[in-house]
Structure formats: structure tokens, C-alpha cells
Amino acid sequence: MLTEADANSNTKVIRSNVAIVGAGPAGIVLALELAKSGIDVVLIESGNPKFSERIQALSDAGEIDLARHAPMADCTRRQLGGASVIWGGRCVPFDPVDFDDRPYVPHSRWPIEYCEIAGYFQRASEYFFCGRAEFDVEDAAGVERRPIVPGLPNGDVISTSLERWSLPTDFGREYGSALNHSSNIRLLCGITCTEVECSADGHSVTGIRGRALDGGTIRILADQCVLACGGLETTRLLFCSDRRHPGGLGNHSGQLGRFYMGHVSGEIARARFSTDPRHTAYGFDRDQDGVYVRRRFSFARSFLHRFQLANCTCYPVNPKIHDPAHGNGVLSFAYLALSSTILGKRLASDAIRKAAIGKREAVSDWQHWRNVLFDCPRALAFAATFGFRRFVKWRKIPGFYQFSAENCYPLHYNCEHLPNPESRVQVGRDVDEMGMRKLRVDLRYGQTDYENVIEAHRHLDEYLRSHGCGALEYLTDDPVGHVKAQASHGFHQCGTTRMSSNPVDGVVDPNCRVHGLENLYVASSSVFVTSGQAGPTFMIVAFALRLADHLKRVQMNGRRIIKKSTVASSQSSSSALA
């Protein structure tokens, strides 16, 4: 039987081999992989295929410092596909150095080796449609083998490493039909998991409990449960499932919610290259599959160890588009388009728009119109070609970069946010519409985070100068203060259920299983021990693939497989509760 009435209530009960909570990239990839092996999966998702403000509000934080953290409405998405509905689409793996023993970075030791996850990169790339898992121009077929600045060799600084872009891939849209048509997946949308249920002895979980906004409830009994609710909601659900484990599941050593990391990012300098401006590789290339790629400056593994630096990358970008002083008609056109309520929302998500246009009231539009007028032919040509590539094409151009005749480009940095137990999330007293306690978010940066950024710039400057390729110019006399002022995140939610071999040091074990619970797993960037320089999503999917392989082995080791033919038809909405 697919559903049966709970003995004492109207709660429906579903049985499955594996219950997955959350249908963002992690949950979707995991469900599809398990289903391919004949494992019966129930995937429950709080959101629906269509966005709902009311469901989104379930993610609102109880306490949050908006100077340090984006509003939850901008950095999470309660919808089928999760935050991939609104993300930028940049795909970058972690580096070997992230998994090295780095005694100079406290709390940074991963309990697994880089090679244990690198083997999943190609399969992850396929889910993203971001081409081959080749992240250096030396390896990437079809990409011109040249550094950012002509004549700058790879050494302590590397300028041939690549970022790749997905479509940007909205996992709900791309895989919704595969989920609905799989004979081994039951996708239940519009149902929020409010509790993970524990066995009486507290050593395992029996299943999960879910609710729809209209009040209907459901229990899913499963051999294994996986929480894939995103880096913050997964942790919140563990905190809220405290019936048998006071303080929350996985909080045996008080580590749950700690080590919350994003990235340290912003701009403090521009690079003025002294080479031929026409040969600066500042923008996008496309590989042989048509995938957009971009070079950036990074540092050699041995160099980071020698100077005891955190991992950091920088790349040339456009001048701030909201400042009309750039005098560039294309940039002003982009500003006006992004700040228009109707067009802007179609071009990028609210978070990305806000980052690009800055504080709108601070700028007067007429100066931008003036720039567009004086640069009309270029602005019109840009509107036509960019519009076509962004709106019409399946693979969308991720953005645009403007050539600088002065060969001078602002540098955007993306630096590792160091693990810090005091940077954390907890649950407070306020509750959401489902009665779940809301998060108190306290994302913290430390002095070493700021100094790493400064050191990375200092070394890059020295490297450019020593090879006669240019130099950095700082945008302010107080670079540390400037890094500090820009330090804010929330889009990359890492660390709050960190992985450890020893239960004392973390929440999940190297297989992403919650310590002390034999069948509860986490598929999320919350398991990351460090944040690296990369956005988390590529690694989230690589880890989801690795977890899928582990769960397949667990299921095959003598556990029964529930055949879909013996249960009723697939459910794809909260009508499962009806």
C-alpha cells in the first residue's frame, strides 16, 4: 500500500526505501541516482513548481544581522529546484589544497582525501550541463591556451584556471519531468518536513513527518532518510527534531550549527596591466561544447602552504555599473535594464540584481541615460546581441565584460571564509506558520579572514610587477577596513553540520551519516569542513553522487527494495495527503 491511515489520526503513511527531504540540486540528483538503481524513493519538497510567497516565508529567520547576511528571501528558495531557480550558475570544484593538512588553518582538516570526491566531478558536470570537468585552459578542449595577461607564466600565481558555467541550470525545470516519470520516485511537493522521527532507543530514525500549509500531515517511513534542505534548513530541521535527542539530532557534541561559513568577497583593488590591452583575456571564452568559461587568478598549492594563506581567487570585472562616472553606454544600459522592475526581474534574480545595481536611491538615472545617448550605437548593439544570448538561447550567456582600452580592470576576490566555531546558527523561540522554530543566524568573520585577502592581493601585485605585466592599484587607503565592510554572505551556506571522523568534532561521518544515528544522512554544503574559494553547488552535487553510491551499497546489503509495481501511482503534489 502506498498510503494508509495512521492508526490514531488522519495522517497518511507512506513507506519507501529512502526518504529525501528537499528537492534542490542535492535532493534531485540523489533521487535520480537511487531511482536508476531500482531503489524506491520518496522526495518531499516544501515548495511547489510555482513560487509562493507564503511558502517562502517559512524560511524567514527569527534573528539575522542584515549587515553580514543576505535576507533569507534572497538567499534561499522554497520551490522545486531550490536555490538553483535563482542562482548564478557558476560551477567550480574545490582544490586539492582544501583537503590538505593545514595546521595554520584551525579546524580545517577534512576526514576524506580530495581523490575520494574528485572522481565524481565528471558526472557532476553532466548534471549541470557545464561540459567536461576540465578546469584549466591547459586541459580544456576548445579553449585558447593563454593566460589572462600575455607573458605572465604560471608559477606561484596561476592565471589559467577556469570557472565553468551551467545553463544556468534550474534543477526543478531540467529534471522535473524525469522525477515525475520515474517509476521509482514519488515526488511530493508542497509538503514541509517538520520533524525527523527517532526510534525509541534513539539510535536510528524511523522516518519523517511532513505537513502541508492546509494542515494535512504525512509520515514517511523509510530505511534511510536524507536531509537535503540546503545549508541552513537542514541544520534547522535537525535542531527542531529534538524529541529524543535534547538539543537536536546530531548535536551530541554541541557542534550542530557551528562553523557557519560563506565566502569573503568584494573588491579592494584594480589591476593595471602593462601589456597589449587587446590581448588581455578578461571575459568569457567558450569551450568546444559551447560552455562559457572564464579565467581567474589563483595561487599554487605549494605557495599557499609556504605563505600559510587561505585559498583565494581574483578575476577582472567591469567597473561598478551603478556609478555613471564610468561614462560607458553599455554599462549604463545594463544598469537601467536591471533596475527596471519588469525587465530586471527577467534578467536576474533579486539578489544578483541588488548586487549589481547597488543602492538605487544613491544614483540619478539621467546620468545613465546621458551615457547611453552618447554611446547609442554600442548600447543598441549590446542590447540586441546580449538580449538574444540571454533570453532566446538555451545556454544563456552568464554576463558580459567590457574591454578596457586603458587595460585597467577592477578585481573581484573570492576568498575562503575560515572555519570558526563562534560563527553559527541556532534556533530561537519564534516559530513559523508550521510551528517550527526559526533560525538565529550569526555569521561571523575574523581578522585573519580580512588579512588573507590583503595578503593575496599583495602577492598578486608582486607577481605582476616581477614579470613586468602590471600592478595593482588599491581603491582605498584602508584595504582591511574595506574588506571588513564588504564581508557579508549567506548565498553559500557551508559548515553547520560539519564532517568529522570523530563524533566529538562534528555532526556527520565521512559518509555523510549523522554520527550516532544508523540511517540518517545529510546531502548539503552544510557538511563541508572548509569553504574553499569555490561556490558550493558543484561540490554539493559531487557529494550527492558519492552519497548515492554509498546508499546503493547499503540498500544492496540485504535490505528489501520496495517495488513501485506493488504500490500505488506516483504523487506529485500535496494531493498525496487528500
Ligand X SMILES: Cc1cc2nc3c(=O)[nH]c(=O)nc-3n(C[C@H](O)[C@H](O)[C@H](O)COP(=O)(O)OP(=O)(O)OC[C@H]3O[C@@H](n4cnc5c(N)ncnc54)[C@H](O)[C@@H]3O)c2cc1C
* Binding interface with ligand X (CB under 6 A): 21-27, 44-47, 75-76, 78-79, 82-84, 86-90, 192-193, 228-230, 233, 237, 349, 351-352, 491-492, 524-525, 535-538, 540
Nearer to ligand X, 232 or 469 (CB): 232
Q: What gap in Å lies between CA 205 and CA 220, rounded to an integer? A: 11
User: Which amino acid is it at 20?
Assistant: I
Q: What gap in Å lies between CA 25 and CA 31, rounded to an integer? A: 10
Q: What gap in Å lies between CA 358 and CA 305, rounded to an integer? A: 36
* Min CB(334)–ligand X separation in Å: 17
User: Using an 8 Å Cβ cutoff, are 382 and 321 in contact?
Assistant: no
Nearer to ligand X, 231 or 324 (CB): 231
* Min CB(55)–ligand X separation in Å: 8
Q: What gap in Å lies between CA 416 and CA 410, rounded to an integer? A: 20
* Min CB(194)–ligand X separation in Å: 7
* Min CB(492)–ligand X separation in Å: 6
User: Which amino acid is it at 415?
Assistant: C
Nearer to ligand X, 464 or 494 (CB): 494
Residue carrying C-alpha cell 600559510: 308
C-alpha cell at 538: 558543484
* Min CB(551)–ligand X separation in Å: 16
Nearer to ligand X, 8 or 341 (CB): 341
Nearer to ligand X, 339 or 525 (CB): 525
Nearer to ligand X, 153 or 435 (CB): 435
Nearer to ligand X, 94 or 463 (CB): 94
CA distances from 293 to 20, 36, 91, 124, 139 (A): 33, 31, 9, 16, 13
* Min CB(171)–ligand X separation in Å: 8
Q: Is the dihedral of CA 173, 174, 180, 184 positive or negative?
A: negative
* Min CB(73)–ligand X separation in Å: 10
Q: What gap in Å lies between CA 28 and CA 47, rounded to an integer? A: 13
C-alpha cell at 230: 540546503
User: Using an 8 Å Cβ cutoff, are 58 and 78 in contact?
Assistant: yes
Q: How many Cα atoms occupy the beta-carbon half-sphere of 182 within 13 Å?
A: 24
Nearer to ligand X, 304 or 540 (CB): 540
C-alpha cell at 223: 530505511
Nearer to ligand X, 132 or 492 (CB): 492
Q: What gap in Å lies between CA 223 and CA 310, rounded to an integer? A: 40
Q: What gap in Å lies between CA 474 and CA 269, rounded to an integer? A: 4
User: Using an 8 Å Cβ cutoff, are 510 and 504 in contact?
Assistant: no
Q: Is the dihedral of CA 48, 51, 55, 57 positive or negative?
A: positive
User: Which amino acid is it at 524?
Assistant: S
Q: How many CB atoms lie within 10 A of CB 559?
A: 15
* Min CB(436)–ligand X separation in Å: 7
* Min CB(204)–ligand X separation in Å: 20
Nearer to ligand X, 46 or 572 (CB): 46
Parallel/antiparallel/unpaired status of strands 90-91 and 284-286:
unpaired
Q: Which residue is nearest to ligand X (CB)?
A: 24
* Min CB(52)–ligand X separation in Å: 10
Nearer to ligand X, 265 or 371 (CB): 265
Q: What gap in Å lies between CA 526 and CA 493, rounded to an integer? A: 6
* Min CB(517)–ligand X separation in Å: 18
